[in-house]
Amino acid sequence: MQTKTPSTVGQHPTLPIEEADQLALEHRGWAESIARSVARGWNLDWQLDGLDGAAMEALLFCARRFQPSRGVPFRGYARKRIHEASTEAARKSRGWRSGSRAEVQTREISAELLNVYPDLRTGQLPLSDESSGNDEADTRMAVRQLLIGATLIAARQGLATATPEEALDYKKMIEVVADMDPVHQSLIWKIYWEGCSLRNVADEWETDELNVIREHKVLLEHLLESLSKGKRRTAVKVRPGLKQVAIKLRKKSEQGEFRRLLRSG
Amino acid sequence: MTKKIGDKKKVGEVTSTNRATEVEGTQAVGNVQGIKPTSAIGGVTKAGGIGKRGATRSMTMAEREELLRLIEEEAEDMFGKSASNANKQKVVNAVKMAVDIGLMSAQEATDPKSKK
């Protein structure tokens, strides 16, 4: 049975149930607009494909767990969750598999991009913490990062079913990654092949998250340069914060995941 | 003519300092001034700043189109002729979709009756 009194998590109480429901009611139109924007981007119907229900459920869930005393605005707290619920509903919908093979693959790649770059869910580009001071240059850099990320995801998803032309592109990409240090191969593998977040990788390697975030960015820039100029560049040096992990990995496996993938054909 | 060091007069004893007199009573705090109205909000962010961290308002359709155009432009620079057309198009469309579904246009944010 639901309680009518607010519950407390630590020092921060949630709203009484009536107030939480009222909060959800006030934000209903806003939550629906998130579901609609997801449906528009993927060419689905926000109602027929069930995105409206998922968004409302997430909104209610967030309203009942919302702790005003934390000082975070409700929309800031709830937006990502409502977006996640809408995209999950979209992926399970009948409309998700409709369209040509290329359309379906494109949707799949974009859905995975949202997991690798969760800031996209709130309308933000994955910008570096070290801004160049030039808005347009930063935006372009973020877009390039997304393009390389999407290319890696496309390679992983398409390896089994690629046309000969596509397979050639993917092989080129994998060859560049296979030339990297095993720790770099492992980083790319964990994020794009296993779907880990940068934070998960940092936890697993017992290192500061910033080490992983910055190394990831350097690797994408390296891939970008190698692919756009079409020539091999010298491998990226491992940053000091990841040296210990690199030594451990080299002891365990000399070649790295992508080298093994290439050898296995 | 130079003066000899010895010519300097020695410091004599320190004369007694005057005692501090009583602390004067503080004056009562004057009237608190009423809160002044803040100045009007400055201009909106320029298109180049949209989509970045900290963006807090909905995009206009023109800004959204500009961002999507930028994706095309960067993809052309990046892939050139190195990638197959089908693959390039798939990647570009996927990035556009991922960026687009995170954005709420001003119309979507304000018009709850618009469908799809």
Report chain A residues whose CB lies below 8 A from the CB of B71: 143, 146-147
Q: Does the pLDDT of residue A206 top 60, yes or no?
A: yes
Residue with tokens 């990297």: A180
| Helices A28-41 + A51-65 axis angle, to 10 | 140
The answer regarding whether domain A8-98 maps to CATH 3.30.960 reads no
Span B51-63, average pLDDT = 57
- Place A1 in a pLDDT band, splitting at 50, 70 and 90: very low
Q: What's the domain count of chain B?
A: 1
| Ramachandran bin of A71, using left for φ above 0, alpha for ψ from -120 to 50, beta for the remaining angles | left
Mean pLDDT of chain B: 62
pLDDT at position B54 is: 44
Q: Does the pLDDT of residue A63 top 60, yes or no?
A: yes
pLDDT at position A132 is: 64
Q: Is residue B64 in some structural domain?
A: yes
Instruction: For chain A, give percent helix, strand, coil, nearest 5.
Output: 70, 0, 30
Q: Where do you find CATH 1.10.1740 in chain A?
A: 8-98
Query: Is the pLDDT higher at B74 or at B63?
Result: B74
Burial degree of A209 (CB within 10 A; 0-12, 13-18, 19+): middle
List Cβ neighbours of B16 (8 Å cut-off, separation of 6 or more).
Answer: none
Q: Does the pLDDT of residue A56 top 70, yes or no?
A: yes
- Place B53 in a pLDDT band, splitting at 50, 70 and 90: very low
Q: Does the pLDDT of residue A247 top 60, yes or no?
A: yes
Q: Which of A137-141, A142-146, A248-252 reaches the highest mean pLDDT?
A: A142-146
Report chain B residues whose CB lies below 8 A from the CB of A46: 115-116
**Rg of chain B over CA atoms, in angstroms?**
36
Alpha-carbon distance of A26 to A110, in angstroms, equals 31
Q: Is residue B13 in some structural domain?
A: no
Span A242-254, average pLDDT = 85
Residue with tokens 């007694």: B16
Alpha-carbon distance of A154 to A148, in angstroms, equals 10
Could you tell me which residues of chain B have a Cβ less than 8 Å from any Cβ in chain A? 46, 48-49, 51-55, 59, 67, 70-71, 74-75, 77-80, 82-84, 86-87, 89-95, 97-105, 108-109, 112, 114-116
Tell me which residue in A44, A105, A120 faces B98 most closely, judged by beta carbons: A120
Alpha-carbon distance of A163 to A128, in angstroms, equals 35
Q: Does the pLDDT of residue B87 top 90, yes or no?
A: no
* A115: contact with B, CB 8 A cutoff: no
> Which amino acid would we find at residue A40?
R
Q: Is residue B72 in some structural domain?
A: yes
Burial degree of A119 (CB within 10 A; 0-12, 13-18, 19+): middle
Rounded to a whole number, what is the distance in Å from the CA of A254 to chain B's nearest CA?
Answer: 30
Burial degree of B44 (CB within 10 A; 0-12, 13-18, 19+): exposed
pLDDT at position A253 is: 67
Span B20-46, average pLDDT = 47
Q: Do B54 and A124 touch (CB under 8 A)?
A: yes
**Phi and psi torsions of A241, nearest 5°:** -65, -15
Taking the model in full, what pTM does it have? 0.75
Tell me which residue in B70, B78, B86 faces A224 most closely, judged by beta carbons: B78
Whole-number Cα distances in Å, A3 to A7, A60, A67, A73, A154: 8, 15, 16, 24, 48
Q: Is residue B1 in some structural domain?
A: no
The encoded tokens of residue A231 equal: 């020539």
The ipTM (two decimal places) reads 0.85
Domain range holding B81? 59-110
pLDDT at position B43 is: 36
Q: Is residue B23 in some structural domain?
A: no
Instruction: Decide: A52 and B112 in contact? Cβ < 8 Å.
Output: no
Asked whether the CA dihedral A111, A117, A121, A126 is positive or negative, the reply is negative
Q: Is residue B66 in some structural domain?
A: yes
Q: Is residue B2 in some structural domain?
A: no
Q: Does the pLDDT of residue B96 top 60, yes or no?
A: yes
pLDDT at position A228 is: 77
pLDDT at position B44 is: 36
| Ramachandran bin of B51, using left for φ above 0, alpha for ψ from -120 to 50, beta for the remaining angles | left
